[in-house]
Amino acid sequence: EPEVTQTPSHQVTQMGQEVILRCVPISNHLYFYWYRQILGQKVEFLVSFYNNEISEKSEIFDDQFSVERPDGSNFTLKIRSTKLEDSAMYFCASSGSWDSRGNQPQHFGDGTRLSIL
């Protein structure tokens, strides 16, 4: 079964450094997402991406965050100047087009654990 893949599985970065988290969504999916989960807390939406542009973003997704689909397969999340509070698990997800029952479910990658020192 096709799956969303994320690399790296664990990223350790010094505070203030830039970090890029990479994702390869399921190949025929059209909608892409980033979520984050601070340790022990709930999963929070960051941003959604469709047709090569951001379709929605949350309050968390401020100017230090950006997303990009640089080619036909990758979907990246960049954090420009990391802070301690950016430490979390970051999940990429993708979903296909709508079917007869409505919205397709989002399939998640295994996550990248980001640790800011």
Partner 1 sequence: AQKVTQAQTEISVVEKEDVTLDCVYETRDTTYYLFWYKQPPSGELVFLIRRNSFDEQNEISGRYSWNFQKSTSSFNFTITASQVVDSAVYFCALREPNNAGNMLTFGGGTRLMVKP
Residue numbers at the binding site for partner 1 (CB under 8 A)? 31, 33, 35, 41-45, 47-48, 50, 54-58, 89, 91, 93, 95, 101-103, 105-111, 113
Closest CB 51 distance from partner 1, rounded Å: 12
Closer by beta carbon to partner 1, 14 or else 42: 42
Q: Is 33 within 8 Å of 49 (Cβ atoms)? A: yes
Closest CB 75 distance from partner 1, rounded Å: 14
Give the span between the Cα atoms of 78 and 97, in whole angstroms: 26
Closest CB 44 distance from partner 1, rounded Å: 7
Q: In sequence order, what are the residues at sequence separation of 6 or more whose Cβ sits closer than 8 angstroms to the Cβ of residue 97? A: 30, 104
Give the span between the Cα atoms of 100 and 85, in whole angstroms: 41
Closer by beta carbon to partner 1, 7 or else 17: 7
Neighbours of 83 (CB within 10 A): 11
